Structure formats: structure tokens, C-alpha cells
Amino acid sequence: MPPTQPLLQWPAEGVTRAPYRVMSDPEIYRLEQERIFRGPVWHYLCLEAELPDPGSFRTTYIGETPLIVTRDKDGVIHAFVNRCAHKGALLCLEPCGRRQAFTCVYHAWTYDLTGALRSVAFQRGVNGKGGMPADFRLSDHNLERVRTVSFAGLVFGTFSEAAPPFEEYLGPAMVAQIRRVFHKPVAILGYYHQVMHNNWKLYMENSRDPYHATILHTFYATFKLNRLTMEGGITLEHGGWHSMNYSKGATMREGEYEGTGIRSVVEGVGLADPALLERRQEFADGITVAIQSIFPTCVHQQIYNTLALRQVVPLGVGRTELHWTVFGYQDDDADLRQMRLKQANLIGPAGFVSMEDGSVGEYVQRGIAGTGVDRGAVIEMGGSEIASSTASRATEATIRGFWSGYRSLMGF
Amino acid sequence: MDGELSLSAPALRRQVEDLHTRYIRSIDDDRIEEWPNLFTPECLYKIVTRENFERGLPLAIMECRSRGMLVDRVTGLRRINVYEPQRYSHQVSGLVIEPVDENTAACRSNYLVVRTTGDGAMTLFSAGVYVDKVVIRDGCALFAERIVVQDSRRVETLLAIPL
């Protein structure tokens, strides 16, 4: 037998390089489903606010695997794979709703809100003929369960028994950021679903990247919503697996962008209707933009008064769907609610400050096609360290942190 | 009650169809600067998914609450936002017009947009319904409201040019 080759030899430079092959190799993609999506990590599933009553359910994903999350009649939250234990058909086709039970359309196998199989059509056959064997036990065929944890109104899940306790997995700074936003009951304002033609990790890199934000997204710097010359920083936890980058809009220094030739500030444009940028200071800490990335695929954003969770769902090695859940608070006054909806023009697939992210990953995916095995991205902004910083956001430490987590789970 | 602006049914239909045609031409012929002028100054233009619309969730993909906000979308397209060169081809059909009062009509039509990008890729980008409120002002039809209800909950890549 020939010696087995490792699937990938990571470059000697370490996390300052990411081989392009991890974005395009179907074998690596398959291994990710096992080692990351079924690995010892926690995945964002939904908000508790989406499961208001006993019998409420919502469908979601971990990696490619379809899931159902339910609230049972005692109010307990459960998650299980959305796949009938009989033939493997999708059990639930709706995104959300209320049910007493889930019955498969194919052969009417029926499960309760905890995922337990309760009945099988014609289990005893017809006229005493046919049917399941006498030793067939319903309890051997429950839906595949997912461990869940509910934290500050967010529901996370994992297939792995080895995932650490949730708050330990997040680390204190990530816990604090979730509590900062989820400090009172939220109200769902709506959803966006956006399909990007790139590997899921290109979006994860992008969402963590403070270096690109004010360059690619010209709207940010032009209208002084976010610039690297504002006070801000990056915060890392769990060895950089999770990250947050943030800025404080009121602290901007002029200069540095103007006259540099960077295509990030368009001179001489104004808004015909400046109401778009009306905003309210909601948080006492003065932070106006905060993008938190929880390893592997959850992004939690505050961009002025727009609050959202983004769940990254891979659809194949070169295709990814982004599920946005946009929310406000239940006690929003009418003005603040209108402000959030108007500011939603900044975000989502048509967002003034986010539309570019829908295509920039695809530019990379197309750019790396046909490259040799030894080529990869250069991630040296801010050196090679993976550390929090309050001094500068001109760094890619947040991205190196992602690759550190990725390598340790994948064994690369 | 009939004011002097009231139009006969065929005349109203001509006005509304003409407005629809000018709308399509402004976008598909890349004369997007003309697009805001097809709306009233205090207009509402929204693109929503059927998912949000039917569940009563107020979030829009794009929401302009004045002609100025339409102008700002044009500024974004022309000067600020970054996206691959692309063109739309609109197909609009099934127009129904119901007069509301002497100078307002509620309209509904189907739309289909094929998007073609620089590399030649053609995508069936969006299909859905236009739910409109058209007003006749100074003998000319304008959109007071255009709600674009997209059937799919998904947007492919990004939505830069209005639907």
C-alpha cells in the first residue's frame, strides 16, 4: 500500500498564508463537513424570538445539514436533523410555523416536537398481513438530535459531545458583546437570503477583515460612517477563533484618506435625502460599528442602528448562502423603528456598505481558478501575531485567528 | 366629483402603460438618471421578498421614501458602489388597473428580469409582482408607490440596479 499523502501541506509561513486550494478542493470541502460542521464547535441556529410559543419551529442549517429547531409543549428548545429516519426525505419544508408534530409526506412517519418517532403508518400491516417486524421499536428511529444551548436569546447547536461549555467556547469578550446587544427583548424585522458564488471561508475572511471595510466599501469612508482614523480596535478570543472589530463614529480624525489616491473617498458627492443617515446613539460606549465573528460561521453586526445576525451556509465548494436576520427591540419607538428600516439600505444584498461583499469573494474564486498547489493569500497586515488591539485596525490578525482555528480542527 | 384630471379608462390605460414603458427604458437602456423622475417627490419605492411581505415583516431589500432617496441610489450606482458591469432586461405583463379616485389608480403587473454580466453569464435574476399606486399629475402619470414583491427569498450575488 502506498503511504497516504496528507490532504494538504500548509505553507511553512503558517497563518500568514492561506493556500488557495482550501477554497476550491472538493475533498477538503467534504472533510470540513465532518471536522468543522460536525466538529467540537458551536453553530448559530436561530433566535429564541423566532420560537415564541410551544409548538413553534424554525428550519435552519449546520453546514449543509438541514435542521429543525422546535420549542416543545414545556417550552424546552430542541434541534434535530430535518431528515425522516425512514427514507431520508426532508421532514419539514416550511421555514417556520407552529406544529404539534412532524409527519413525513412520503410514508407518514410521525415525530413529536422533541424529535422522537411516535408512529409509523401501517406498522401492524393491513388485515394482519405485512407491516413492520414484531421487534421494530419506534425509539430506535428517532430523528438525529443536535445539542443546543440558549444564550441571551440566541440558540446555538452542535453535533459534537466534545464541544466545550458555550460561554467557555466564546470567551468573556464575545459573551460581553452578545450581552451588550441582546440586553432586552428583540423584535424580528425580516430576513435577507443572498447566494454568493464563492467558498464559505472567503466570506468568513471578509466579515472579519477591518482592512478592506473602508476601502472596498467606498460609501463608508465617503460619508464618514467608518474610517480607520476613528477610535476602534479588534478583540480576539479563544486564540483568535472569534473576533470583533469596532469603531466609534464620533472620534474621526480628518486627513489620511484625503489625497492618498486610495479609491475609498469619493469627493464632492452628497445625499439628496440625508434622512438615510439619521441615526441614534443606542449604546453608551460610543461604538457605532461592531462586527463580531463567532467561529466558524456566525456574524453578529451592529452598523449604527442596524442590528443583524448573519449565518453562513455552504451550498457546495464554490457556493455559499448568507442568511441575514435583521432585528430591533420590542420597545423601539416608531421613529427608531423607521430609522432602522431606512438604515437597512446600508446592509444586505443591496446595501450601500455591504453589496460589494456579495461579489468580492466571487472575484477571488474566479481569480484563483487554475492556480498551482503552492499559491495562497498573503495575510501579513499587522505582522504575524494573533492578538487584540486598541491601537489600530490596519491589521489582519482577525483573519489569522480564523485560520488558526481552521487549521487546528482540520489537522492542517 | 369627477375632477378635470379624470381620464377615460382607455386614456388612463395609455398613461399607465406609457409610464411602465418609460420605467423599463430608463433602467434597461442604462438611462437610470431618468428613473427618479417617474416618481412623485414624496414617493415610496420598495423591493421586498414575498417571504417578508406575507409574514408582515417590514424589512426591505431597498427602501426609498422620497425621490431624493432614488437619486441617492443613482449616485451610489454611478459613483460610489462597486459591482461588475451588468445589464437588465425587463419583461412586464399582466397589467391590471383599478381607478381609486379621479387621479389615482392601483396597478399590478408581473415582472421578470434577466441580468447579463460582463463575462456573458445570463441569470434569471428576479421574478415577481409590481404593486403600484399611480397618480395623474398635470396630465402626466407618476408612481406615488411602487412595491416590488420578489417571489424568491434569495438574491443572487447582489442587487445594485433597482428592479
Nearest to B157 among A276, A348, A362 (CB): A362
Are residues A143 and A264 located together in one domain of the fold? Answer: no
Which chain B residue shows the shortest CA-CA distance from A271? B72
Which chain B residue shows the shortest CA-CA distance from A187? B57
Asked if A31 and A7 count as a contact pair (C-beta separation under 8 A), the reply is yes
- The cell for A365 is 474564486
CB contacts < 8 A, A to B, total 117
Number of domains in chain A: 2
Inter-chain residue contact B158 with A356, CB threshold 8 Å = yes
Domain residue ranges of chain B, discontinuous segments joined by +: 9-150
Give me the long-range contacts of A175-180 (CB less than 8 A, separation at least 24): A175/A151, A177/A235, A177/A244, A177/A290, A177/A292, A177/A300, A178/A151, A178/A152, A178/A154, A178/A292, A178/A300, A179/A152, A180/A283, A180/A285
Which chain B residue shows the shortest CA-CA distance from A360? B83
Q: For residue A346, what are the contacts with CB-CB under 8 A and spacing of at least 6?
A: A219, A225, A276, A303, A304, A306, A352, A353, A354
Are residues A65 and A114 located together in one domain of the fold? Answer: yes
Domain of residue A189, residue span = 171-410
Average pLDDT score over residue span B95-119: 95
Band the pLDDT of B2: cuts 50, 70, 90: very low
Inter-chain residue contact B81 with A355, CB threshold 8 Å = yes
Are residues A229 and A268 located together in one domain of the fold? Answer: yes
- Could you give the 3-state DSSP secondary structure of residue A225? coil
pLDDT in the model for residue A266: 79
In a domain, A404, yes or no: yes
Asked if A242 and A170 count as a contact pair (C-beta separation under 8 A), the reply is yes
CA distances from A343 to A206, A330, A372, B84 (A): 21, 18, 43, 24
Residue B100 pLDDT > 90: yes
Residue pLDDT, tens place only, A355-408: 999 999 999 999 999 886 679 999 999 999 999 998 888 899 999 999 999 999
In a domain, A393, yes or no: yes
Best interface-test mutation with A: which of B155, B161, B163 has the largest number of A CBs within 10 A?
A: B155
Band the pLDDT of B1: cuts 50, 70, 90: very low
B61 interfaces chain A, CB cutoff of 8 Å: yes
In a domain, A3, yes or no: no
In a domain, A194, yes or no: yes
In a domain, A394, yes or no: yes
pLDDT in the model for residue A207: 95
Asked if A345 and A304 count as a contact pair (C-beta separation under 8 A), the reply is no
Q: For residue A273, what are the contacts with CB-CB under 8 A and spacing of at least 6?
A: B65, B66, B68, B69, B71, B72
Instruction: Please tell me the distance in Å from B106's CA to the nearest CA on chain A.
Output: 25
Band the pLDDT of A189: cuts 50, 70, 90: very high
Average pLDDT score over residue span A136-152: 98
Are residues A67 and A207 located together in one domain of the fold? Answer: no
Inter-chain residue contact A341 with B66, CB threshold 8 Å = no
Are residues A116 and A196 located together in one domain of the fold? Answer: no
CA distance B35 to A4: 62
Q: A224-233, A340-349, A383-392: which has the minimum mean pLDDT?
A: A224-233
Residue pLDDT, tens place only, B149-161: 999 999 999 999 9
Containing A137, the helix (H) or strand (E) segment is none
Supply φ then ψ for residue B128, to 5 degrees.
Answer: 175, -150
CA distance A401 to A184: 31
pLDDT in the model for residue A60: 98
Inter-chain residue contact B57 with A272, CB threshold 8 Å = no
CATH number at residue A96: 2.102.10.10
Are residues A113 and A223 located together in one domain of the fold? Answer: no
Average pLDDT score over residue span B33-53: 98
Band the pLDDT of A287: cuts 50, 70, 90: very high
Are residues A79 and A132 located together in one domain of the fold? Answer: yes
CA distance A399 to A320: 19
In a domain, A14, yes or no: no
Containing A373, the helix (H) or strand (E) segment is none
Asked if A23 and A198 count as a contact pair (C-beta separation under 8 A), the reply is yes
Inter-chain residue contact B63 with A358, CB threshold 8 Å = no
Asked if A279 and A343 count as a contact pair (C-beta separation under 8 A), the reply is yes
Are residues A147 and A222 located together in one domain of the fold? Answer: no
- The cell for A166 is 458555550
**Is the preceding omega at residue A3 within 30 degrees of 0, hence cis?**
no
CATH of domain B9-150: 3.10.450.50
Best interface-test mutation with A: which of B37, B51, B59, B147 has the largest number of A CBs within 10 A?
A: B59
Nearest to B57 among A190, A195, A352 (CB): A190
Nearest to A266 among B71, B80, B160 (CB): B80
In a domain, A227, yes or no: yes
Percent of the residues in chain A that have a pLDDT greater than 70, as a whole number:
96
Are residues A138 and A183 located together in one domain of the fold? Answer: no
Asked if A178 and A151 count as a contact pair (C-beta separation under 8 A), the reply is yes
Are residues A177 and A145 located together in one domain of the fold? Answer: no
| DSSP state at residue A389 | B
Supply φ then ψ for residue A107, to 5 degrees.
Answer: -135, 15
CA distance A152 to A170: 13
pLDDT in the model for residue A1: 57
**Maximum Cα–Cα distance across chain A:** 87
Nearest to B158 among A193, A222, A350 (CB): A350
β-strands A154-158, A145-151 pairing: antiparallel
B47 CB neighbours in chain A (<8 A) are 350
- The cell for A253 is 480624525
Percent of the residues in chain B that have a pLDDT greater than 70, as a whole number:
97
pTM: 0.95
Residue B65 pLDDT > 50: yes
Average pLDDT score over residue span A315-323: 98
In a domain, A6, yes or no: no
CATH number at residue A346: 3.90.380.10
CA distance A28 to A36: 11
Are residues A133 and A85 located together in one domain of the fold? Answer: yes
Are residues A287 and A397 located together in one domain of the fold? Answer: yes
